[in-house]
Each structure stands twice: as C-alpha cells, then as structure tokens.
Amino acid sequence: MLKSFKRWMADKEVMFWSFLLLFIGFVVLFSASKGVLVKESFFLKQCLWLIIATVAGVFIKKVDYRDLQRTAPILYLIILFLLILVFFLGYGGATRWIKLGVFYLQPSEFAKLITVLVLAAYLADRDVRRFPVLLTSLVIVGIPFLLVLKQPNLGTAFIFIVIFFAMIYEAGAAKGQMITLFLMGAFSSPFMWLVMKPYQRERVMTFLYPMRDPLGKGYNLIQSIITIGSGGLWGKGFLRGTQTKLAFLPEYHTDFIFCAFAEEFGFIGVVALI
C-alpha cells in the first residue's frame, strides 16, 4: 500500500509540473496570437490538441505497462514498416509524411516513442554492461535512426542518438561504456558533414553564421536574439510583446515561442522557467 501511495505521489508531481508548463505555454501563445484571425489562431489549435492529448493520456494511463512490454516488439515492427513505406508513398519535398485522405501521418514522430518503449522492454531484464546487450540496443535504435536519416530528417534522427544514450544510462551502463560511445560519436561527427544534403549544410551554416543572410534564411534567428534581448531583466509584461505582435518574429509559434516568453517576462522569468 505504501508503494502504491508513493507511486501516486510521483505521478501527481509529474502531472503538476507538466500542466504548469502547459499553462505557461498557453499563456504565452495566447499573448503572441492576440489579434490574429480566429481561423489562423495557433492558440485555438493548441487547445484542440490539448484535448486530444488529454484523452489519449487518460486512455494510455489505464493500460498495464506489462501489456505495453509484451506488445512493444510488434509496435516496433509496424513503425519500421511505416518508415520504409514513406519512401514509396512519401508526401512532400523531404519524404517524411504519408497522406491518408485528409490526414497526414509522420511515422518518425511515433518512431521516437516506440523506440523508447521497445528499448525499455528489452533492457528491463538484461544487463546493459554486457557487450551483446549493448550492441543489440544500438541496433534497435540504429535501424529507425538510419531510416529517418535517409528521408532526410537530420533533426529527428539526432533525437534517436539522445534516446540511445539516455536509455542505456538509465539502464545502468558503465561510465567507461558511455565515454567510449561518446568519443566514437564525436570522432565520427565530421563524416556526418559528408553525408548531409546541401540544404542541411546550409541550415547549419545559417545557425552558426546568421549574418551571412540577415534578410533571408538568417532573419528569423537574428530576430529571435533581438526578441530575447528586448525583454531585459523584467520583461515588457503580459500582452505587451512587440516583436511577435508586429511580426518581426514571424515563426513565434514554433520552437521560437521561448523568445516570446523571454520578451514578455524577461531574464527573471526565463530563469524561473528553466
């Protein structure tokens, strides 16, 4: 009974911080979207997805984790099939999506979650410090990694590397193993440049040197820095952000939403959030 109570308290704490971050995100998105047409409002779209995610979360919470452990290999094979199917039925310039009527499915997003699930199921009763177990873990992550990299989707592929290191660390990998794998990855990283597509190299160069094209590809990055700096110590205040409302930061609703938060709540707000 004590064990069940502790688990409930842990779930309660996770839920509290999760919903707090969601609330902060909604507040900032509402402020940044104020004045935008209803049909174009990212705030309303976020509300819709929150409802869908909440329903899905309630359903998943009722599923016994042992059932997930048993079905993990099947889910893994299904997602690998979908990742391969993308190359034949892929939609868009970079073949990442499968068109299903009016809906678009991006298998790589589900692949991240399922890879975590199947790797957790595999490592649950195995010692990751044994080389065969570590090698098998690398293969489990490596297959979807290579398929996603081939799409090409370098950003998502990199997440699989993070997943691998995080999972084997939690499974109890030895420090020597972690250091060796990290050094191998570091030494092989220059070869990644050779296999990258021209537009991927251009993105990296734009990220490192945005002033190479300040009015083009580097514009949003430069404006994001200006937006964060304009918040100062205390910020401009809720609903008073100018960089987003005057469209100086056009992609505020993406990963750059942090910039909108920094502009309105300043350095103090950013430190509190982090």
156 shares a domain with 115? yes
Q: pLDDT grade, residue 28 (50/70/90)?
A: confident
Please tell me the number of Cα atoms within 13 Å of 46 on its side-chain side: 17
Q: Is residue 25 part of a domain?
A: no
pLDDT at 38 over 50: no
pLDDT at 245 over 80: no
User: Phi, psi (5° rounding) for residue 269?
Assistant: -65, -40
187 shares a domain with 101? yes
Longest Cα–Cα distance in the chain: 62
| Segment 231-253 mean pLDDT | 82
Domain termination residue (choose one: 166, 196, 226): 196
Q: Return the structure tokens found at 238.
A: 């809720």
User: Phi, psi (5° rounding) for residue 97?
Assistant: -115, 150
| Segment 89-97 mean pLDDT | 65
DSSP string, 149-173: HHTT-HHHHHHHHHHHHHHHHHTT-
Domain count, the chain: 2
Domain termination residue (choose one: 148, 170, 196): 196
**Domain encompassing residue 121:** 65-196
Q: Counting Cβ atoms within 10 Å, is residue 256 exposed (0-12), middle (13-18) or buried (19+)?
A: buried
CA–CA dist 14, 240 (Å, integer) = 31
262 shares a domain with 176? no
